[in-house]
Structure 1
Amino acid sequence: MFHSRAAVLAALFLLAVCTVARAEDVTLTSRDGSVEITGNLLGYDGEFYRVDTVYGVLTVDGSGVICDGPGCPDLTAFVAQFTFSGARTMGEVLLPLLVESFAARSGYAVERRLIDDTHFTYILTDEATGAKAAEIGFRVTSTAEGFADLLANEADLVLSTRPVLPQEAERAHDAGIGDLTDPRRSLILALDAMAVIVSPESQLTGLTLDQIARIFAGEIGNWSELGGPDAPIALHLRSRQSGIAQAFASALQDMAGLAPADSVIRHDSNGGLADAVASDPLAIGISPYSETGNARVLAVEGSCGMVSELDDLTLKTEDYPLPLPLFVYTPARRLPLLAREFLKFARSPAAQSVVARAGFVDLRLLKVPVAEQGLRLAGAIAEAGGEVTLDELQRMVTAMDGTERLTLSFRFEPGGTRLDAPSRSNVEILAEQIEAGAFDDRPLVFVGFSDGVGAAEANARLARRRAVAVRDAVLKAAPTADRSRLNVSVEAFGEAMPMACDEDAWGREINRRVEVWAAQR
């Protein structure tokens, strides 16, 4: 009995000691001794400490304090550690290639260690000293699993093929991760799209968004309803947890208030889905543009007859109605320096070359001369609103003469004044180019367009206000640009150049845009 009670008391004593050690395992003291912070060390990124104190979580510059206690890191052997989790579409090929390219350019030797089917780790070692610099973990499953791992503090960055869902953002806020809807919490690394695919044997060339929605909701169930054979339509989508399946389900809701039919065949991989559709003349599926395999991609048609083909250009300009930007989401906490350096590299021209080689659409800015915009001009003449005069069309053509259209457009979130996610990314891309001097002494025009709903004069005024707002946002994002060498102006042509049918809601959204024209060199 005595021995038993002694053992219990000893265990309680050790538990109390360990609890105290964990609760206050570091003390940070300013170098002059005037300030002292005690608490539980949550992390150290090579520069800053994150400490949970009685005052809340504090971030403290490591250069200004001395750390004492059992939780203090070894500053001479610091290894940056961070983990990506999320979409297989991004994690299997794109991010590994970017990590390897970053390592090669930064003087690190790189080793990939496979853990299991969904986990692997990159070890980065300084080639000059042989010291380990970083351990970068990956868990490659689905977008939904990535956000779940972030909420569980099992990941630092989320790989996502869709915007964060409202319920995910709410849970993240409640968990102290920050507002994931804040533009500063996400970064677009590349562009992809939801491609509507069929077998190469299919005679179908395009569908309207309404038809796509009704097909996948099961309301159109036989090919004969689309002018094909009398046979049932076989529907193929990714698993429900995948980002593209969730993005498409959301698009169905937005388009027609519909949900995918129960008869949909679900796939665990994009390649498996594309192969299944390509081999079945009666099948139709939704796959990433980057992974269509041997299947054929359909165009999206408008009710007025205008057609939106899926290609690199229509993705860069946001003229295709089913985009799939590839995001990295970050929490509202400081990441290790090497992680921040990697994210900065991922948007660089060198990294975007890697993006293109990986089969995705990169973010690099291209220019389309007027001579290559014949279809746009033909559409302007054929589909311009009835209030658009010949004089206005001639004024627009004259303004376009000698210019190039940059392959970025700016659009606003539905029903709001905030730029959508791709457009916010475009602000940064264009601002970086301006700061680098790419448009010094070269006229740059922000051109507003509208849909055809309402009076043409009012639409033109609204289009101009949007163009001014985008111009101001870009210039604000380029504080180091040489203003004396910039020649920036604003123009608006309202409903004079529609890119899609105004009869369709998605067409009106595409038509409401700001383009950027640059004088040809």
Structure 2
Amino acid sequence: MSYKPSASDAQAWPVTIAWLIIGFICYAFPWQAFAALPSSHAGEPVLRVQGSNTIGAHLLPELVKGLLQSEGYADVSVQPGKAENELRVIGRSADGKEAIVDLAAHGSSTGFVALKDNSAELAAASRPIKDAEAAGLSASGNLRSAKAEHVIGIDGLAIIVNPANALDELTTDNLARIFSGEVKTWEELGGRGGAIHLYARDDNSGTFDTFKELVLAGHGKTLANGTQRFESSDQLSQQVSADPQGIGFVGLSSIRKAKTLRIADGDSQAMPPSTTLIATEDYPLSRRLFLYMKPEESNRWAHALLQFAQGDQGQALVSASGFVGQRVQAVKMTPRAGMPQAYQSLARDAQRLSVNFRFREGSATLDNKAQRDVERLLAYLQQNGKMNKQTVLVGFGDPKQDPARAELLSKLRAMAVRRELAKDGVMFREISGMGDALPVAANNDDDGRIKNRRVEVWVY
């Protein structure tokens, strides 16, 4: 006997199917379910974030405000916290509910301490987690995994001087000699002004950790005694701007009225801290901005903030806050002497995209940022009609004894990126490897070699 649905059955089917779909989404994506995020009770925060002053001073409050507004909290205010460099962001909904987020910006290292003692759900860091920090949190999972480590934007350490300073560029070697105290006067650098006054961030700062790793330690130096130290990048910049003999380093968002210098590393050309060169991480003092979370963290607000920060709205706020967002854009490059002929042809006829792919140390596996960049690049190619033989991948590497081997390895890196994008139907115009040409960093240490092992993307 066949079954014939009644009119009431036919009306019920769409509702039943809708609930099945909702149930599946809630099961598959529990923290993205349709239910509203929980509100605060008795003045307790729904989320606590600690760590980097670079991120926490400007960007993080804007991201939290954006998230609260996207969740329907129309009345959002930022209030001082219990101590300096602490804030409380409060959202109030039309029905009287509150969501409170506490932010503390005392330096990247303090964020990992807060994760370990459970006084924060997210750690903001302007440098990667250190081995000792990862080991200390290993009971909570792998803090270097894609579930735990999230790049929310790119920053560049700007080397700043007083606007009246005539100097225009420095090498990282000279920077190390200046901040170690070996070079003591501006005259030694071909300038004028007498004794050099040094300004640096404090030891808790990810900004200082980045400078120490990329500049001081990379050249076997330590910071000179007597250097003036600051918890706040904004205060440091203000002091340098007022001191004709001063030099310091800050994140992009804190340059303010100071003058920036072009920086060269190893055989690279001197580069300004421009948006494009920082987006591709070619600028020698570029760095990633991170939010870290324990892999099994259950706080739904923490997950929501990470998702918001990676989305279009969040990345727009990253750019508006003085940093460099990760949305892919096309940039016209100028051919110049010293470029390989094939590269000059690209520069003349194609546009470079504002993304470089880099790899895990000692591996051909894309790193955590690169895995997300595959998704961003795919979206760009789809939206701009570049899926069919209009894209070129160019691999680069560090020197090898056999130049042919360097060229082969650089092409293999480009092919690793092609493999990921080809899964979604991208057809490429060309895949090439240029070996150790056009270095963006020195090749005498691991950090420099990792930066040089990259894949660029060009489109016609």
SS at match of 2:64: helix
Please give the alpha-carbon distance, in whole angstroms, between the structure 1 residues aligned to 2:441 and 2:302.
44
Matching of residues 422-501 of structure 1 within 5 Å: 422-433=369-380, 439-441=386-388, 443-474=390-421, 481=424, 483=425, 486-488=426-428, 490-495=430-435, 497-500=437-440
Matching of residues 41-440 of structure 1 within 5 Å: 78-79=38-39, 81-112=46-77, 113-117=79-83, 118-127=85-94, 130=95, 132=97, 134-173=99-138, 176-229=139-192, 231-252=194-215, 254-302=217-265, 306-369=269-332, 372-375=333-336, 378-381=337-340, 393=341, 395-398=342-345, 402-413=349-360, 415-420=362-367, 422-433=369-380, 439-440=386-387
CA contact 2:156–2:285 (8 Å) conserved in 1: yes
Aligned letter for 2:242? S
Cα deviations across residues 406-437 of structure 1 (Å, max 9, x unaligned)? 11112335554454565445334324445768
SS at match of 2:135: helix
Q: Pick which of 433-442 and 328-337 moved more.
A: 433-442
Q: CA deviation at 1:209?
A: 0.9
1:513 is aligned to 2:460 = no
Aligned letter for 1:488? F
Aligned letter for 1:337? R
Q: Pick which of 295-304 and 312-321 moved more.
A: 295-304
Q: Pick which of 456-465 and 311-320 moved more.
A: 456-465
CA contact 1:252–1:259 (8 Å) conserved in 2: no
Please give the alpha-carbon distance, in whole angstroms, between the structure 1 residues aligned to 2:353 and 2:250.
28
CA contact 2:127–2:289 (8 Å) conserved in 1: yes
CA contact 1:197–1:285 (8 Å) conserved in 2: yes
CA distance change for structure 1 residues 501 and 418 in 2, over 3 Å: closer, same or farther?
A: same
Cα deviations across residues 192-227 of structure 1 (Å, max 9, x unaligned)? 111111111212111111111121122222323212
CA distance change for structure 1 residues 278 and 230 in 2, over 3 Å: closer, same or farther?
A: closer
Cα deviations across residues 6-54 of structure 1 (Å, max 9, x unaligned)? xxxxxxxxxxxxxxxxxxxxxxxxxxxxxxxxxxxxxxxxx89xxxxxx
Q: CA deviation at 1:133?
A: 6.5
CA distance change for structure 1 residues 503 and 166 in 2, over 3 Å: closer, same or farther?
A: closer
Aligned letter for 1:462? L
Which segments of structure 1 move beyond 6 Å, counting only runs of 4 or more?
A: 501-504
Aligned letter for 2:431? E
Provide TM-score, normalisation by structure 1.
0.73
CA contact 1:197–1:297 (8 Å) conserved in 2: yes
CA distance change for structure 1 residues 337 and 291 in 2, over 3 Å: closer, same or farther?
A: same
Please give the alpha-carbon distance, in whole angstroms, between the structure 1 residues aligned to 2:291 and 2:115.
12
CA distance change for structure 1 residues 500 and 188 in 2, over 3 Å: closer, same or farther?
A: closer
| Unaligned ranges ≥5, structure 1 | 1-46, 49-60, 63-74, 382-392
Cα deviations across residues 314-346 of structure 1 (Å, max 9, x unaligned)? 001111011122111011223333432332121
Q: CA deviation at 1:500?
A: 4.2
CA contact 1:317–1:409 (8 Å) conserved in 2: yes
Please give the alpha-carbon distance, in whole angstroms, between the structure 2 residues aligned to 1:208 and 1:420.
28
SS at match of 2:103: strand
Q: CA deviation at 1:281?
A: 2.0
Cα deviations across residues 105-124 of structure 1 (Å, max 9, x unaligned)? 33223443544234433344
SS at match of 1:183: coil
CA distance change for structure 1 residues 290 and 420 in 2, over 3 Å: closer, same or farther?
A: farther
Cα deviations across residues 267-303 of structure 1 (Å, max 9, x unaligned)? 1211211121122222211111221122111111356
SS at match of 1:447: strand
SS at match of 2:376: helix
Please give the alpha-carbon distance, in whole angstroms, between the structure 1 residues aligned to 2:394 and 2:264.
25
CA distance change for structure 1 residues 192 and 305 in 2, over 3 Å: closer, same or farther?
A: closer
Name the one with the larger strand percent.
1
CA contact 2:171–2:265 (8 Å) conserved in 1: yes
Please give the alpha-carbon distance, in whole angstroms, between the structure 2 residues aligned to 1:220 and 1:496.
32
The percent identity for this pair of structures is 28
Aligned letter for 1:277? V
| Unaligned ranges ≥5, structure 2 | 1-25, 41-45
Larger Rg: 1
CA contact 1:180–1:186 (8 Å) conserved in 2: yes
Q: CA deviation at 1:498?
A: 1.0
